[in-house]
Chains A and B, each alone.
Chain A
């Protein structure tokens, strides 16, 4: 059996995506019912974060805890990397220290592939530069399924700084593979320069991009985009692209609003919408825990069929 890496959604096939989401849903059911998840005694996961993160790291730790996996943390600062060690040497060391899996976040696009090449045991991408963030997208898909009952045929508008967003790329791949129509909505300076190879249609006007949308996924606007000259001001962005009760009017009546966090309140999203009935932002955080547990379970060799035996499919539930 080949090593089970989760490096990105782009290269996953639909069946595999569905299986991971099914396992996430089943883990959710069990954790809510107080039932135990499959256990991996003696397994150790290394959380290797070369970029700041609290939510993703805590979420992975929580997921590992539920599976009985021990966790050890590394950060870029204070490690041997700060002393000039190459990524390759760091990974070879961790391999020799008998870690069973590595969860890696790194500012360079594509670096999890490199980590996988050197580590040769399961590697899970927890965000690589502006490329992919697959566990976020899997959790978001579960959130949408739980709320909407389906993904097939939905129109999803991803709004904001798509160019610099790994969340946008992973979600676009995942949701389009599951049959959604994906739109990228944002200013010309923050959309990918060429969408030909990406599964999304670009829209510059928020009202057109949100027309009939079933799901609106806001992205965080990094303050540094102003310094880079990509935007004139926060005010200009807010006026043109803020998702709020008024700008959501063209969307479907039962539209849900998502955000990967952390939110810039009053910028990409206003308070009323972020905390309102359409918001599923806190559900996203919760779903991600189940998804990360499912991914760790799968990566460490867990058998999805054994878990799903007798469980109701989260996809079929929708059809019923």
Chain B
């Protein structure tokens, strides 16, 4: 069976390619990419004129909530949402119930992700750095690695004890296992729920100072420099954190980092009258942070963009602001926000933006993804994006169980319209029937 994705703009950052051409998929493999390809015996043709054809997108940071929190999301609904968002690989975070600290739980995740009802994307589990994420002792990291985790993390329970974090890095360096670091000094963030500043002062809410993030970014960068452990800094939200990372990279620390769409689009004052849809951690910051994060995205200090997909059940969100959980759903808006706010505004070129959504995250965790080159991935992973379609985001039409988002009703320009992982796993209504032709 041959499938042809025809006449799209091929954007393959893995080989710095940007040209009009086609991708030929045979069975579940990419067999040819070029300005023209061999069209004999093609049975399905997707006319991609005006669309971008990119490597399947890779999300380093998402919450699928299983096991134990299926009121928020399941691996089935989460992966369906990811596929609709253009992702073909999703790294799921370990702060579940129980935490992903044992090989059996990794097996469970992989089984569920492979079930036929799931979205068809690759799920790459991130293991818990400490047992039950209690930060008392390291989890059995070698066993976790053997079970298939691609990294380990203290997500949701940031390690405060620098001695423990140093031992974790020494161990992970030995195991060649990257650490994804949740950088938050809990003695500074306390029980805060919004960026500390004029808005927290106005509303009387306990603030989370930017230093709560920056102090831990700096510590983790220094520990990475000294241990040689690969550290991926998650969710960079302040210009100060960017400067720490820039300095650490300059000094040669094996450090990478991500930011997430809310941090380059929204600010703390948008919390308005205690709108819990704007509560996330680290909290939304200020316009200065947005400007300098955009600069850091453009100059490469920020390596990638993750969704930080954080679904919650509606009843968990309909509570006073300080009691509400942190985070937003993110799979089905990440690409649209990147297009609208970074590409169409000239912050990133299309090729660089796709690099931050596919090739770079794949490289950081050494995943076989992020490229259109034949033979480089286990199966064909391709995302088709309509860069120009103008649409309004309706969270009630999403696949995720979580409906917590600040973007409901936002107008975007651009959207992923089809996703392939092996075969087609998602095709949007915006991908017209007239563009899809089969030959019997």
Which residues of A come within 8 Å of B, CB atoms? 10, 86-88, 106, 108-111, 113-114, 128-132, 163-164, 166, 169, 192-198
- Contact A197/B204 with A108-B322, A109-B274, A111-B320 known, Cβ cut-off 8 Å: no
Assess whether B321 is in contact with A109, with CB atoms less than 8 Å apart.
Answer: yes
Among candidates A114, A132, A164, A195, residue contacting B320 with C-beta atoms closer than 8 Å: A114
Q: Is B203 an interface residue (CB 8 A)?
A: yes
Q: Is B318 an interface residue (CB 8 A)?
A: yes
Assess whether B320 is in contact with A109, with CB atoms less than 8 Å apart.
Answer: yes
Interface-located stretch among B167-175, B193-201, B326-334, B428-436: B193-201
Assess whether A106 is in contact with B320, with CB atoms less than 8 Å apart.
Answer: yes
Q: Report A88 CB to chain B, min CB distance, Å.
A: 5
Assess whether B319 is in contact with A113, with CB atoms less than 8 Å apart.
Answer: no
- Of residues 309 to 329 in B, which have CB atoms within 8 Å of A's CB atoms? 315, 318-323
A110 to B271, CA, bound (A): 11
- Contact A109/B318 with A193-B197, A194-B197, A196-B198 known, Cβ cut-off 8 Å: no
B338-368 to A contact mask, C-beta < 8 Å, 1/0: 0000000000000000000000000000000
Q: Report A252 CB to chain B, min CB distance, Å.
A: 28
Assess whether B201 is in contact with A132, with CB atoms less than 8 Å apart.
Answer: no
Q: Report B101 CB to chain A, min CB distance, Å.
A: 28
A residues near B315, Cβ cutoff 8 Å: 86, 88
Q: Is B207 an interface residue (CB 8 A)?
A: yes
Among candidates B273, B318, B321, residue contacting A88 with C-beta atoms closer than 8 Å: B318
A108 to B191, CA, bound (A): 12
Assess whether B200 is in contact with A193, with CB atoms less than 8 Å apart.
Answer: yes
Q: Report B40 CB to chain A, min CB distance, Å.
A: 62
Assess whether A86 is in contact with B318, with CB atoms less than 8 Å apart.
Answer: yes
Q: Report A102 CB to chain B, min CB distance, Å.
A: 15
A196 to B202, CA, bound (A): 9
- Contact A131/B203 with A87-B319, A108-B320, A108-B321 known, Cβ cut-off 8 Å: yes
Among candidates A10, A87, A106, A195, residue contacting B201 with C-beta atoms closer than 8 Å: A195
Q: Report A116 CB to chain B, min CB distance, Å.
A: 11
A87 to B318, CA, bound (A): 9
Most chain B CB atoms below 10 A, which of A108, A111, A128: A108
Q: Is B292 an interface residue (CB 8 A)?
A: no
Closest to B200 in A: A193
Q: Report A136 CB to chain B, min CB distance, Å.
A: 14
A residues near B204, Cβ cutoff 8 Å: 109, 128-132, 164, 166, 169
- A sample of 11 cross-chain residue pairs with beta-carbon separation below 8 angstroms, ordered by A number, consists of A86-B318, A88-B315, A109-B205, A110-B274, A110-B320, A111-B320, A131-B204, A166-B204, A194-B201, A195-B201, A197-B202
A196 to B201, CA, bound (A): 9
B178-209 to A contact mask, C-beta < 8 Å, 1/0: 00000000000000000011111111110101
- Contact A192/B201 with A110-B273, A113-B274 known, Cβ cut-off 8 Å: yes
- Of residues 256 to 299 in B, which have CB atoms within 8 Å of A's CB atoms? 273-274
A132 to B319, CA, bound (A): 18
A109 to B321, CA, bound (A): 7
B residues near A193, Cβ cutoff 8 Å: 196-197, 200-201, 207, 209
Closest to A108 in B: B320
17 more CB-based (< 8 A) A-B contacts, given A130-B205, A193-B207: A86-B318, A108-B320, A108-B323, A109-B322, A113-B273, A128-B204, A129-B204, A129-B205, A130-B204, A131-B205, A163-B201, A164-B204, A193-B196, A193-B201, A193-B209, A198-B201, A198-B202
B residues near A194, Cβ cutoff 8 Å: 196-198, 200-201
Among candidates A86, A109, A164, A196, residue contacting B319 with C-beta atoms closer than 8 Å: A86
Q: In which size bucket is the chain B interface? A: 20 to 34
Closest to A195 in B: B201
A residues near B322, Cβ cutoff 8 Å: 108-109, 129
Tell me the total A-B contact number using a CB cutoff of 8 A.
71
B residues near A114, Cβ cutoff 8 Å: 274, 318-320
Which residues of B come within 8 Å of A, CB atoms? 196-205, 207, 209, 273-274, 315, 318-323
Q: Report A120 CB to chain B, min CB distance, Å.
A: 15
Q: Report A222 CB to chain B, min CB distance, Å.
A: 14
Most chain A CB atoms below 10 A, which of B196, B199, B200, B204: B204
A residues near B273, Cβ cutoff 8 Å: 110, 113
A residues near B203, Cβ cutoff 8 Å: 109-110, 131
7 A-B pairs with least C-beta separation: A110-B274, A108-B320, A192-B201, A130-B204, A131-B204, A196-B198, A111-B320
Q: Report A92 CB to chain B, min CB distance, Å.
A: 11
A residues near B274, Cβ cutoff 8 Å: 109-110, 113-114
Q: Report B396 CB to chain A, min CB distance, Å.
A: 19
Closest to B320 in A: A108
A211 to B197, CA, bound (A): 28
Q: Report A12 CB to chain B, min CB distance, Å.
A: 14
Q: Report A86 CB to chain B, min CB distance, Å.
A: 6
- Contact A110/B201 with A86-B315, A193-B196, A193-B207 known, Cβ cut-off 8 Å: no
A87 to B197, CA, bound (A): 28
A257 to B201, CA, bound (A): 25
Q: Report B193 CB to chain A, min CB distance, Å.
A: 9
B residues near A166, Cβ cutoff 8 Å: 204
B residues near A132, Cβ cutoff 8 Å: 204
Q: Report B298 CB to chain A, min CB distance, Å.
A: 29
A14 to B207, CA, bound (A): 29
Closest to B193 in A: A109
A198 to B273, CA, bound (A): 15
A residues near B205, Cβ cutoff 8 Å: 109-110, 129-131
B residues near A197, Cβ cutoff 8 Å: 198-199, 201-202
Among candidates B202, B207, B320, residue contacting A87 with C-beta atoms closer than 8 Å: B320
A198 to B322, CA, bound (A): 20
Q: Report B212 CB to chain A, min CB distance, Å.
A: 13
Closest to B269 in A: A197
B residues near A131, Cβ cutoff 8 Å: 203-205
Most chain B CB atoms below 10 A, which of A110, A114, A193, A197: A110
Closest to A7 in B: B273
B residues near A169, Cβ cutoff 8 Å: 204
A106 to B199, CA, bound (A): 20
A88 to B318, CA, bound (A): 7
A138 to B196, CA, bound (A): 29
A193 to B198, CA, bound (A): 7
A253 to B321, CA, bound (A): 44
Q: Report B182 CB to chain A, min CB distance, Å.
A: 24
Q: Report B4 CB to chain A, min CB distance, Å.
A: 52
A197 to B200, CA, bound (A): 10
Closest to B206 in A: A130
A residues near B209, Cβ cutoff 8 Å: 193
Q: Report A98 CB to chain B, min CB distance, Å.
A: 23
A196 to B323, CA, bound (A): 26
Q: Report A186 CB to chain B, min CB distance, Å.
A: 13
A86 to B203, CA, bound (A): 23
